[in-house]
Structure 1
Amino acid sequence: MTLTELRYLVALARERHFGHAAQACNVSQPTLSAAIKKLEEQLGMPLFERRPREVVVTPQAEPIVAQAQRVLEQADLLSQMATSQRDQ
């Protein structure tokens, strides 16, 4: 599992649409779909319910999405800290 995959996961949970999430992440829809499928396989569970016009986070995936968001926030903080130290 990579930070990129976590970004895709959070974007899809927020956008509730593969195409919109892909656009938000500046990737193609097949790239985002493949990454989500890979993540679901790694975790051994569906993360989203695919509906005709939207996708919805499954109840068991809600805490995973929340944790992914926290991981991304912490990764951004690390990057900011490194930049601050480098600039001193």
Structure 2
Amino acid sequence: MTTLRQLRYLVAVADTRHYGRAAEACHVTQPALSMQIQELEAQLGVELLERCRGGIELTQIGREIVRRARTVLTEVRDLEDHARHHRRVLSGPLRLGVIPSHRRSDLRT
């Protein structure tokens, strides 16, 4: 099963075009990031990235998967933000009680 972590790592590699910089951005080791990308490729049954002289290039299917991964990650962030927002909101009836107070003129004496 594809994980959000794998999608985040793939997007990071796509953004940086470099495994080392992507691993740094994700706060993981390069081997850990590389292994997750390989697992993702195996699960999907396609090659997403190609190593080349200038760094990393996305395959044609890799570009489409990254585009969709960005959408998924955006939707997940939106879902989390929505839940966070509703967790803080108070709902239900609000009843206020008022206690009698002295008039200002009574306080001066």
Q: Give the alignment's TM-score, normalised by structure 2.
A: 0.78
1:21-48 CA distance string (max 9 Å, x none): 0000010000000000000001111100
Poorly superposed stretches of 4+, deviation over 2 Å: none
Distance across 1 between alignment mates of 2:68 and 2:78 = 15
Asked which structure has the greater RCO (Cα within 8 Å, sep 6+), the reply is 1
Structure-1 residue corresponding to 2:80: 79
AA partner of residue 16 (structure 2)? E
Distance across 2 between alignment mates of 1:34 and 1:58 = 18
Structure-2 residue corresponding to 1:17: 18
Percent of residue pairs identical: 44
Unaligned stretches of 5+ residues in structure 2: 90-109
Shift of 1:53: 4.1
Distance across 1 between alignment mates of 2:80 and 2:15 = 23
Residue 68 of structure 1 aligns to a residue whose secondary structure is helix
Distance across 2 between alignment mates of 1:81 and 1:33 = 32
Structure-1 residue corresponding to 2:107: none
Unaligned stretches of 5+ residues in structure 1: none
Distance across 2 between alignment mates of 1:36 and 1:77 = 24
> What's the C-alpha RMSD, in Å, of the aligned pairs?
0.8
